[in-house]
């Protein structure tokens, strides 16, 4: 399935990976919402998917995700299906950003993209990047979160108690 998604997205004319409600929001979030397509090769993405899939299948009750307490940076590796992530300013919904996430891409949200904007992966019926529909299938995202500033690491590499 991942190969199909890559092929479909690579054929979009003039395809960029980030689009927004206007130049101001694009400039403001230029370094705060980043997409690196092709971060993983197809073989690397397939290997990672095979590694995490058995554990995910054992946890069938977890259909969604929960945002855990963390620092100012979130990074995710997108696997299996292409998707569109939408960020909407929490105080001014007219300010938005969309990220096109191909399988094997890395996305990073930090600073204002992390704190001032909500984020969601669009459902299949809403999954458009500009005028182009981005069909969604099963998606896995491997997320890494930074430790909150000032917490540091405690004994044996664990965060200190709260």
For residue 91, what pLDDT band results from cuts at 50, 70 and 90?
Answer: very high
Query: Does the residue 64 lie in any domain?
Result: no
Name 101's bridge partners.
83
Query: Does the residue 94 lie in any domain?
Result: yes
Query: Does the residue 13 lie in any domain?
Result: no
Going by C-alpha positions, the residue among 106, 139, 96 that lies closest to residue 38 is: 106
**pLDDT > 70: percent of the chain:** 77
Query: Please, are residues 88 and 96 in contact by the beta-carbon 8 Å criterion?
Result: yes
Domain that holds residue 75: 2-8+18-58+71-146
Query: Does the residue 160 lie in any domain?
Result: no
Q: Is 124's pLDDT higher than 60?
A: yes
Query: Does the residue 156 lie in any domain?
Result: no
Q: What is the pLDDT of residue 9?
A: 45
Q: What is the pLDDT of residue 100?
A: 93
CATH number of the CATH domain containing 43: 2.60.120.590
Query: Does the residue 152 lie in any domain?
Result: no
Domain count, the chain: 1
Q: Which residues of 65-74 are buried (b: 16+ CB within 10 A; e: fewer)?
A: eeeeeeebbb
* Calpha distance 52→40 (Å, rounded): 15
Query: Please, are residues 53 and 92 in contact by the beta-carbon 8 Å criterion?
Result: no
Average confidence score pLDDT of the chain = 79
Q: What is the DSSP string of 53-91?
A: HHHHHHTTT--S--PPS--SEEEEEEESS-EEEEEEESS
Query: Does the residue 123 lie in any domain?
Result: yes
Query: Does the residue 162 lie in any domain?
Result: no
Q: What is the pLDDT of residue 95?
A: 94
Query: Please, are residues 103 and 78 in contact by the beta-carbon 8 Å criterion?
Result: yes
Q: Is 115's pLDDT higher than 60?
A: yes
């Amino acid at each position: 399935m991942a190969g199909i998604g890559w092929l479909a997205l690579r054929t979009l004319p003039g395809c960029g990976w980030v689009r927004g409600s206007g130049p101001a929001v694009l400039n403001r979030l230029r370094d705060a919402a980043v997409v690196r397509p092709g971060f993983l090769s197809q073989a690397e993405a397939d290997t990672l998917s095979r590694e995490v899939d058995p554990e995910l299948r054992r946890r069938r009750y977890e259909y969604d995700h929960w945002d855990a307490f963390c620092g100012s940076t979130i990074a995710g590796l997108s696997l299996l299906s292409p998707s569109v992530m939408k960020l909407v300013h929490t105080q001014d919904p007219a300010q938005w950003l969309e990220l096109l996430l191909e399988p094997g891409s890395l996305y990073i949200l930090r600073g204002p993209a992390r704190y001032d904007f909500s984020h969601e992966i669009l459902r299949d019926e809403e999954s458009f990047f500009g005028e182009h529909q981005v069909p969604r299938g099963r998606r896995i995202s491997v997320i890494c979160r930074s430790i909150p500033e000032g917490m540091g690491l405690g004994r044996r590499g664990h965060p200190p108690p709260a």
